Structure 1
Amino acid sequence: MTITEQPLTTADAELSRVRRMLTLRQDVKVAAEGDDVELTHPWGRQRVHALGAPTVHRLLALGAGPVDADALAGDREAGRLLSLLGRFPYLVTSILDDPLTGPLATAVPIARSAATPGAPDLGSTAVVLSRFAYLRRLPDGPADGGGGTIGQGCVMESPLAPYRVTLHQPAAAAFVAALTTPRTVAEAAALAGLPEQSGAALAALLAGTGFMEPAAGAAVGAAPALPAADPPLWDFHDLLFHSRSRAGRHDYTSGGVFAHQDVPHPPALPGAGSNEDEPGIDLPVPDWDEVTARDPRLTEVLEGRRSIRTYAETPVTLEQIAELLYRAARVRQVIPRDPSSPNSYDAIDRPYPAGGATGELEIYLSVAACEGLPTGVYRYDAAAHRLQPRRWHGAADEAAFRELLTAAWRATNCTVDPQVLLTVTSRFGRLSWKYSQIAYALTLKHVGVLYQTLYLVATAMGLAPCGLGSGDTDAAARALGLDWTSESSVGEFLIGSRPASGSGSLPQGFCDIVDTMREQG
């Protein structure tokens, strides 16, 4: 058999060329009135005047489907449209289309700060994927805003990139994987099984939208610069969490959107756990007049608040723990839902504020030393003001309890053996049923206000409070008998008896460095 190689003709080369197509985000609405248009989009609305009929026609065509960017640039009459797109780059989706294999990648702007993506010619420059870039599959659902369908393909995002890129072909995802190690575009394309031309187009799109950076010591030369190296003081998960739980860096529906109405809303008050088969311990309710008569003034409590990591020889008492929990964390009221509203749910009123009155936080006690309370694990029933003992099923449960106390000891820099450890958990579904994108950030805000409430009440009572910055999620789930994906520890707080050396009178004046700082400048 004889094989004769035929040189590619100009038509063949054009047929195999990866084209960059442009279209408007699918949620951009264009309303034309003569020579004027009104653009409505997720970030607002703009009215553009005196575009001229040809430009209006081209803009409507761009909203109806992809247009070849090169053909548009070569159109002498399209200058006004290109100028308009340059003013609103955050409305323009870019699609890499291979005439032979179909769409390769789609880049959708997800922030108003998105600029027109550059297209650097990387040549032999070694590049590497940003350490903040990640791949995932979006849930099946509606269009992704830029011509693709959520759930079809692999999606790449980064808290540093104002774009979301959908990789429509496995080879495109393999190309991205190849760039987790510094390589040239040609090397990465060969590893992924992509034609070099396709690899170059994809690399230019990724670099232009903020997903790649030069390898250490590499220079791009005269080509447009790649994004600067990533911010050194951020961990991946922290920057991602910050960018996705606040508006401005993404286009996902956020806030109280009630996205899970097809799922029953978790109950306002948690039921008894499977390991709660012992009688509960009804806690004493503090007397209002007695508490208000002995409590210091709010300003004295605020100025006297400290984290105390030393305890008196005599441990804290059950009565003190009961008063602290009652004043800081009890359920004051359950507000029934409106049955006529699909968005309504039973709300919870507690001494501390919570978004949407969701009341998702719960408290468990790991007791090592407390007068009147045996060693063990207890759930605080905040509505009945009762402790529910959690039975250990075996040595593994008790070992997990010891792990919690050890983790708390380490969190205090190994300075104090815990008396009572309060583990704060979140029943996440109470929040995520209503709130999207911000649910976890919101539960952490609630932990903060609960911490402050515990600090102030404990200080007023003359106890030794100390909020901890870390805890063991897995050990807490085992010790408390929880499914950590449904209810998990989100905070830890130590309570003990205050030593005599730290029980002096609360401050009688403000302490600050205001005068010193003013003298310095």
Structure 2
Amino acid sequence: MIKMSLQDQLIQQIKQLDKKQAEELQFYLREITQQDTDEYSPQNFLYLQKLTSLCLRDFYTLDQQLRTNIRAGKKHVSLPREFTETNNSFPNIIERRRSRREYQTQPISLPQLSELLYYTYGATGKISLRGYRNYILRSAPSAGALYPINLSVIVNSVDTLSPGFYRYKVKEHALESIFLGDIRSPLVQAGLGQQFMATAAVVLVLSAVPERIIPRYGIRGYRYIYLDAGHIAQNAYLAAEYLNLGACDIGAFYDDAVHSVLGFDPEKEFVVLMITIGRV
């Protein structure tokens, strides 16, 4: 089988567009190429995103297959709460922190994943707030303690845990399956071909729900969303180092493709950042 070049694949997909999609493609290309400046406006970024959607229609087909073939009912996985101590001191963890993209093939254990999630975004305390007697606080700070970020996990290789996409349930310190199945191939494609997303044991997914924070802070809430994501990501890095694992942020990906593969409605919840974790 002859492997097609990226250009040939793109041409083939463009040829398969229907008339309406072809007209959209022409419009977006014309608007972008007619600019007199090299600087892209917010509108042009929108056009580029639309182009991405048109040229990556296979993800939408795959997404439907995903729901038809491997989507499972909700599966609740309780995570162990007995944590082990390592010999890594805090100064040592800070000095060793690096973005690590090369991972061993061995899976991580469920206790390791449990500890990683707890230190990254786990429930660490309770206070009386906004009429709630036991309002949960987490290991990462959040503007107004509103926590607009959800933490989910793409499981590639974890002992005793089936591959699939899981939501981290903070209050219960548990995982709830969204769907089960191996999605490494479409995930790598959606991640601009970054192969270490497939060799990582897990990929943490940080997604934002604007409705939790925008009513209180208005448009400035979007700034707080990204600040929150940064706090959580740093926790994940330090927790990984503590557990002798490696971590790496993934900020380069096709938004529409990732949302399609994971089944997100970006009008309600959108992916901000992904973090690969694995043995090093």
Q: What is the TM-score with the length of structure 2 in the denominator?
A: 0.68
Structure 2, unmatched stretches of 5+, are 1-33, 46-70
In 1: Cα distance, 2:228 partner to 2:167 partner: 19
- Asked whether 1:484 is paired with 2:266, we answer yes
Alignment check: 8 A CA contact 2:151 2:205 kept: yes
SS in structure 2 of the partner of residue 465 of structure 1 = strand
In 1: Cα distance, 2:133 partner to 2:254 partner: 31
In 1: Cα distance, 2:170 partner to 2:179 partner: 19
Residue type of the alignment partner of 1:438: R
Q: Name 1:377's counterpart in structure 2.
A: 165
**CA offset at residue 415 of structure 1?**
8.6
In 1: Cα distance, 2:126 partner to 2:224 partner: 20
In 2: Cα distance, 1:322 partner to 1:431 partner: 27
Residue type of the alignment partner of 2:216: K
Mapping for residues 11-90 of structure 1, pairs under 5 Å: none
Q: CA 1:476/1:331 → structure 2, altered by over 3 Å: closer, same or farther?
A: farther
**CA offset at residue 276 of structure 1?**
7.3
Query: What is the alpha-carbon root mean square deviation over aligned residues?
Result: 3.2
Q: Name 1:423's counterpart in structure 2.
A: 205
In 1: Cα distance, 2:238 partner to 2:262 partner: 27
Q: Name 1:315's counterpart in structure 2.
A: 107
SS in structure 2 of the partner of residue 371 of structure 1 = coil
Q: Name 1:108's counterpart in structure 2.
A: none
Q: Name 1:278's counterpart in structure 2.
A: 74
In 1: Cα distance, 2:133 partner to 2:220 partner: 18
In 2: Cα distance, 1:356 partner to 1:346 partner: 16
In 1: Cα distance, 2:158 partner to 2:188 partner: 14
In 2: Cα distance, 1:460 partner to 1:385 partner: 19
Q: CA 1:382/1:303 → structure 2, altered by over 3 Å: closer, same or farther?
A: same
Residue type of the alignment partner of 1:427: V
SS in structure 1 of the partner of residue 227 of structure 2 = helix
> Which of 327, 336, 339 pairs up with 2:119?
327
In 1: Cα distance, 2:120 partner to 2:82 partner: 12
Identify, as 1 or 2, the structure richer in helix: 2
SS in structure 1 of the partner of residue 199 of structure 2 = coil
Alignment check: 8 A CA contact 2:164 2:182 kept: no
Q: Name 1:444's counterpart in structure 2.
A: 226
In 2: Cα distance, 1:433 partner to 1:371 partner: 41
Structure 1, unmatched stretches of 5+, are 1-180, 183-215, 217-229, 241-274, 393-397, 499-521
**CA offset at residue 334 of structure 1?**
5.3
Residue type of the alignment partner of 2:76: G
Alignment check: 8 A CA contact 2:255 2:271 kept: yes
Residue type of the alignment partner of 1:493: I
Percent identity over paired residues: 24
* Matched pairs, number: 222
Q: Which has the larger radius of gyration?
A: 1
**CA offset at residue 477 of structure 1?**
3.0
**CA offset at residue 318 of structure 1?**
1.7
Q: Name 1:236's counterpart in structure 2.
A: 41
Work out which structure has the larger RCO, using CA pairs closer than 8 Å and 6 or more positions apart in sequence. Answer: 2
In 2: Cα distance, 1:463 partner to 1:387 partner: 20
Q: Name 2:193's counterpart in structure 1.
A: 410
